[in-house]
Copies of this chain bind each other. A is one copy, B any other.
Amino acid sequence: MSLREKTEWIAVDWGLTHLRVWVMGAGENLLAERSADQGMGGLTPEGFEPTLLALIEDFLTDGKTTPVICSGMVGSLGGWAEAPFQPVPCAPQSTASIVSAATRDPRIAVSILPGLSQTAPAPDVMRGEETQIAGFLQSNPKFDGVLVMPGTHSRWVHISAEEVVSFQTFLTGELYALIARQSVLLNAVAIDGWDDAAFEDGVSEAISRPESVAAKLFSLHAAAQLSTPAPEAARARLSGLLIGMELAATRPYWLGQNLTILGAPKIGAIYARALSLQGLQAPVFDAAPLTREGLMAAYDSLTAPAD
């Protein structure tokens, strides 16, 4: 059988800046994986279908409808079709609330998974991370504790009884990028490199005096004017200050809690180090495969025989 004939369904992770598809055969068999930098942020509603077709065309068969299941910002208002948020507490994945996106090509049937929302204690939303959480819970159904999900926006997610109880999102990663690459600190902070001691000092100072962070940021610039500190140390210190401020705010999420980090290995290890300074051990799970695992769980749930 050709790959085209073997194709049973297609899993899609469509975020603001990226598009990733997995072509799936029977029995959770991965036939192909493709990606493009055509995130939903750069597309108009009419642009979604042709963009997706260009990536999956050679796996589609005339006269047959292939299910396509999507997760991520593609389901936001202004995306392909809006999949309204599901309010927590709830299971991370709600296939009953999946939304169909209109298509012209009869060879695909596209559905989009909803994100999660919270109104109290503070308004919050996620789109895409809930699929990673569902993927994680597939292999860790008994997990009870807090998932730490670092990234552009880092999320602390309280999980109990296979439900998301509450969560809190921080702008940390986005602030880091804006400050390191676009502020007055541009020349003080290296693009790469690291210094453990500088990172640890930053974390400790921000945890004990979080209000001082905006002043300590300017000090990084001032120090570079007055002497020649290593820009790698400044980079690590900046990261430490911002992550330390996040830890100062998330104390109820980590104090006495069972913690697991889901993230890219590099930033995951940085968060693990910051938590270890507070005496906490948190294993790091690579988040990359979790989205596909979450989408596979959704497909299984949608195709399971009715009770």
Contacts A171-B218, A178-B178, A215-B170 given: A226-B184 contact, CB under 8 Å?
Answer: no
Stretch at the interface among A50-58, A103-111, A242-250, A277-285: A242-250
Which residue of B is nearest A172, CB measured?
B214
Copies in the complex: 2
B182 and A182 within 8 A (CB) = yes
The reply on A211 being an interface residue by CB < 8 A is: yes
Q: Kindly list chain B residues whose C-beta atoms are within 8 Å of the C-beta of A125.
A: 221-222, 225-226
A170 touches B211 (CB 8 A): no
Instruction: Tell me if A212 is interfacial: C-beta within 8 Å of chain B.
Output: yes
Q: Are A218 and B178 in contact (CB under 8 A)?
A: no
Q: Flag the segment in A89-97, A115-123, A136-144, A295-303 that touches B.
A: A115-123
Main secondary structure of the interface of A (DSSP, over half): helix
Specify which of B175, B184, B219, B242 is in contact with A124 (CB 8 Å cutoff): B219
A61-79 contact mask (Cβ, 8 Å, vs B): 1 or 0:
0000000000000001100
A144-190: which have CB < 8 Å to B?
153, 168-172, 174-175, 178-179, 182-184
Contact indicator A223/B123 (Cβ below 8 Å): yes
Beta-carbon contact of A214 and B124 below 8 Å: no
* Residues A212 and B249 in contact, CB atoms below 8 Å apart: yes
Minimum CB–CB distance from A159 to chain B (whole Å) comes to 19
Shortest CB-to-CB span from A177 to chain B, Å, is 9
Tell me if A217 is interfacial: C-beta within 8 Å of chain B: yes
Bound: A219/B171 CA distance, A: 10
Between A85, A170, A209, the greatest number of chain B beta carbons within 10 A of the residue's beta carbon is seen for A170
> Within residues 201 to 241 of chain A, which ones have a CB less than 8 A from any CB in chain B?
209-219, 221-223, 225-226
| Complex contacts, A122 vs chain B, CB 8 Å | 215-216, 219, 222
**Chain B hits for A178, CB < 8 A:** 178-179, 182-183
Nearest CB of B to A76, in Å: 8
| Given known contacts A225-B85, A226-B123, A226-B125, A218 and B169 CB-to-CB distance under 8 angstroms | yes
User: In this complex, what residue of B is CB-closest to A155?
Assistant: B218
Q: A243: shortest Cβ distance to chain B, in Å?
A: 10
A-to-B contact residues, CB < 8 Å: 76-77, 85, 117-119, 122-125, 153, 168-172, 174-175, 178-179, 182-184, 209-219, 221-223, 225-226, 242, 245-246, 248-249
